[in-house]
Amino acid sequence: MFEVLPKIPADPILGLSAAYKADPNPNKIDLGVGVYKDENGNTPILDSVIKAQSVLLESEISKTYITPQGVPGFITGMLTLLLGKESKALLSNRVAAVQSPGGCGALRILAELIKRCNSDTTVWVSDPTWANHIPLIGDAGLNIETYPYFDKSTASIKFDEMVDCLKQVKKGDVVLLHGCCHNPTGADLTNEQWDEVLRIAQQTGFIPFIDTAYQGFGDGLEEDAYGLRLMAENLPEVIIAASCSKNFGLYRERVGLAAMITSDAAMRDIVQSQIQSVARGIYSMPPSYGGALVDIILNNEALKAQWTNEVNEMRTRMQTLRQLLVDKLAENGASKDFSFVTQQKGMFSFLCISPEQVKKVRDEHSVYFVDSSRVNIAGISRGNVDALAKALVSVL
Ligand code: LMR
Asked if residue 330 is part of any domain, the answer here is no
Q: How many CB atoms lie within 10 A of CB 320?
A: 13
DSSP string for 319-369: HHHHHHHHHHHHHTT-SS--THHHHS-TTEEE----HHHHHHHHHHH-EE-
- pLDDT tens profile 230-265: 999 999 999 999 999 999 999 999 999 999 999 999
- For ligand 1, say whether the CB of 17 is within 6 Å of any of its atoms: no
- Bridge partners of residue 242, in order along the sequence: 212, 257
Asked if residue 63 is part of any domain, the answer here is yes
Asked if residue 62 is part of any domain, the answer here is yes
Q: Is the pTM of this model over 0.90?
A: yes
State residue 69's pLDDT score.
96
Q: What is the whole-number distance in angstroms between the Cα of residue 172 and the centre of ligand 1?
A: 29
Reported ipTM: the value is 0.96
Asked if residue 159 is part of any domain, the answer here is no
- pLDDT by 10-residue block (mean), the chain, 396 residues: 95 91 96 96 97 97 95 98 97 98 98 97 98 95 98 96 98 98 98 98 98 98 98 98 98 98 98 97 96 98 98 97 97 94 96 96 96 97 97 96
- For ligand 1, say whether the CB of 147 is within 6 Å of any of its atoms: no
Asked if residue 319 is part of any domain, the answer here is no
- For ligand 1, say whether the CB of 129 is within 6 Å of any of its atoms: no
State residue 2's pLDDT score.
96
Please give the number of the atom of ligand 1 that sits closest to the Cα of 132. Answer: 9
Q: Which residue from 376, 311, 306, 389 is spatially nearest to 344, judged by alpha carbons? A: 376
Q: How far apart are CA 321 and CA 366, in angstroms?
A: 20
State residue 155's pLDDT score.
95
- Bridge partners of residue 376, in order along the sequence: 348
Asked if residue 101 is part of any domain, the answer here is yes
Asked if residue 43 is part of any domain, the answer here is no
- For ligand 1, say whether the CB of 369 is within 6 Å of any of its atoms: no
- What is the count of structural domains for the chain? 1
Task: Out of 37, 51, 246, 328, pick the active-site residue.
Answer: 246
- For ligand 1, say whether the CB of 183 is within 6 Å of any of its atoms: yes
Please give the number of the atom of ligand 1 that sits closest to the Cα of 32. Answer: 3
Nearest CA to ligand 1 atom 9: 13
Q: What is the whole-number distance in angstroms between the Cα of residue 150 and the centre of ligand 1?
A: 19
Asked if residue 288 is part of any domain, the answer here is yes
Q: Which of 33, 181, 371 to mutate to test the pocket of ligand 1 (most atoms within 8 A of CB)?
A: 33
Q: Which domain holds residue 256?
A: 50-149+172-188+206-302
Q: Which residue from 378, 391, 249, 392 is spatially nearest to 321, judged by alpha carbons? A: 378
First to last CA, the chain: 48
Q: What is the whole-number distance in angstroms between the Cα of residue 2 and the centre of ligand 1?
A: 29
* 211 is known as an active-site residue: yes
DSSP string for 289-303: HHHHHHHHHHTSHHH
Q: How far apart are CA 55 and CA 72, in angstroms?
A: 17
- CATH number for the domain spanning 117: value is 3.40.640.10
Q: What is the whole-number distance in angstroms between the Cα of residue 104 and the centre of ligand 1?
A: 10
Q: What is the whole-number distance in angstroms between the Cα of residue 379 and the centre of ligand 1?
A: 14
Strand 207-212 and strand 174-178: the pairing is: parallel
